[in-house]
Amino acid sequence: MFYIASKLLAFISKPIIWILLLLISSIILNSKRKKLLYITFFTFYFFTNSFIADSCSRLWEIPRFQPTEQYDVGIVLGGIADYDKITKAHNFNKHADRLMDAEQLYHKGIINKIMISGGNGMLFNDGYIEANAMRDHLLQNKIPNEDIIIENTSRNTKENAFNSSEILKKKYKNGKFLIVTSAQHMRRSQLCFEKAGLKTTAFPTDCTTSYTNFGIEYMLLPRVSALEVWQTLIHEWIGYIVYKITF
């Protein structure tokens, strides 16, 4: 039930849905059309402004650092790829840095093993198991099978944390663990692992640029990419609050 509710909440929390509902309301409610159109315009401009979106994103993200210690396991959270059954190829998305950075950390000797956490997060399971597929990718990139740990049943961040923690607590009673996930996703992820009783260090990936662009086009013109930033941020904020309250 929680899983279905979280999917529904993720859908209605998208700014593009709010803008669509405002437009529909302005068509239906003649007496309030002008006021609703003003609100729609303001909402559209606010959520498509990259300067505002990226500034808020930087405030939420945990800053990246260069680890100097050695960790037993780097925990890579899923949500980075899907599988094209026609072309038989993995389609990596904008969060693929999670896996790429983990590979680099492994080859540098920062992490001794890579754990991939992720099953199938679709509301209607299509049979694709992300952790298994990413293991195949790591094997093809010279990561030995004995240095790969798989957690392939989780469907969301909460399950990532609790399922992974259960495995790691048995294997490493006093282990040191690095979470490798997107910077916007890190606060919610660390909260979940904390609730699951596993102490971790954050290694954020695909971070918002640390510098601010003051170009006129960037600061003033609407951009579709800003909507995506806000969609992720709002999803993370809601998820963090819900997880903080419910467990």
State the chain's mean pLDDT as an integer.
Answer: 90
Over residues 4-21, mean pLDDT:
81
Of residues 82, 88, 65, 100, the one with CA closest to residue 202: 65
Q: Which helix (H) or strand (E) covers residue 38, if one does? A: helix 33-47
Q: Which two tokens stand for residue 1?
A: 């039930």
Alpha-helical segments (H) within 48-129 = 50-60, 97-107
Give the domain ranges of the chain.
Answer: 2-61+217-246, 71-205
For 59-90, how does the pLDDT look when each residue is reduced to its tens digit (9 = 90+)? 999 988 889 899 999 999 998 887 777 787 77
Given a contact cutoff of 8 angstroms between Cβ atoms, the answer to whether 70 and 109 are in contact is yes
- Write the DSSP assignment of 225-238 as a string of letters: HHHHHHHHHHHHHH
- Residue-level pLDDT at 11: 75
Given a contact cutoff of 8 angstroms between Cβ atoms, the answer to whether 162 and 196 are in contact is yes
Contacts of residue 26, defined as CB under 8 A and 6 or more positions apart, other chains included, come to: 32, 33, 36, 37, 40
- Residue-level pLDDT at 124: 54
Tell me the fold of 71-205: Rossmann fold (3.40.50)
Q: Which residues pair with 179 in a beta bridge?
A: 75, 202
* Residue % of the chain over a pLDDT of 90: 69
Looking up tokens 């003649």, which residue turns up? 30
- What is the model's pTM? 0.88
SS3 108: coil
For 181-224, how does the pLDDT look when each residue is reduced to its tens digit (9 = 90+)? 999 999 999 999 999 999 999 999 999 988 888 899 999 999 99
Given a contact cutoff of 8 angstroms between Cβ atoms, the answer to whether 114 and 102 are in contact is yes
Looking up tokens 């909507």, which residue turns up? 227
For 122-160, how does the pLDDT look when each residue is reduced to its tens digit (9 = 90+)? 655 666 888 988 998 899 888 999 999 999 999 899 999
Q: Which two tokens stand for residue 51?
A: 């300067």
pLDDT at 92 over 90: no
pLDDT at 8 over 80: no
- Residue-level pLDDT at 6: 64
